[in-house]
């Protein structure tokens, strides 16, 4: 078990961004186009964080052209270049899955700093 823990510690990123559920985040993702790579932005509300350690993931939701889009990102993946916090949200839940059923202003999260 100690060997597995050592391998897992080596796989972790040194600097992980500190954000919580309800925050509006901008995720910089490295996209591979053939032989070229570029950075693509995905901005939305973080609705869930799961697992922990090496396998930690977070789910980001946004509405694009009237359709809800959710992406799950591994936190320690080399394809996730950067995560920046746009706005901090004030929520009282660990998972914000109820936002899937909301439309328009009802799908907004209150800001922590008013």
Q: Tell me the per-residue pLDDT of 1-43, one tens digit each, with 9 for 90 and over.
A: 778 888 878 778 778 889 999 999 999 999 999 999 999 999 9
> Could you tell me if 109 and 61 are in contact, meaning their C-beta atoms sit under 8 angstroms apart?
no
Q: What is the mean pLDDT of residues 60-67?
A: 95
What residue spans define the domains of the chain? Answer: 2-98
Does the pTM surpass 0.75? The reply is yes
* 2-98 belongs to CATH 2.30.30.790: yes
Q: What tokens does 29 get?
A: 């993702």
Name residues whose C-beta falls within 8 Å of residue 43's C-beta, 6 or more positions apart in sequence: 24, 25, 26, 27, 60, 62, 86
The SS3 assignment for 72 reads strand
> 68 has which bridge partners?
63
41 contacts 28 by C-beta, under 8 angstroms: yes
């Amino acid at each position: 078990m100690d060997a597995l823990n050592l391998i897992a510690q080596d796989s972790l990123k040194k600097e992980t961004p500190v954000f919580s559920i309800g925050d509006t985040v901008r995720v910089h993702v490295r996209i591979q186009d053939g032989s070229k790579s570029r950075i693509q932005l995905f901005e939305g509300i973080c609705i869930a964080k799961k697992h922990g350690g090496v396998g930690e993931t977070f789910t980001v939701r946004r509405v694009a052209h009237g359709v809800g889009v959710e992406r799950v990102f591994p936190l320690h993946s080399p394809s996730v270049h950067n995560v920046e916090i746009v706005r901090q949200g004030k929520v009282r839940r660990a998972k914000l899955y109820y936002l899937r059923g909301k439309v328009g202003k009802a799908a907004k999260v209150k800001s922590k700093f008013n």
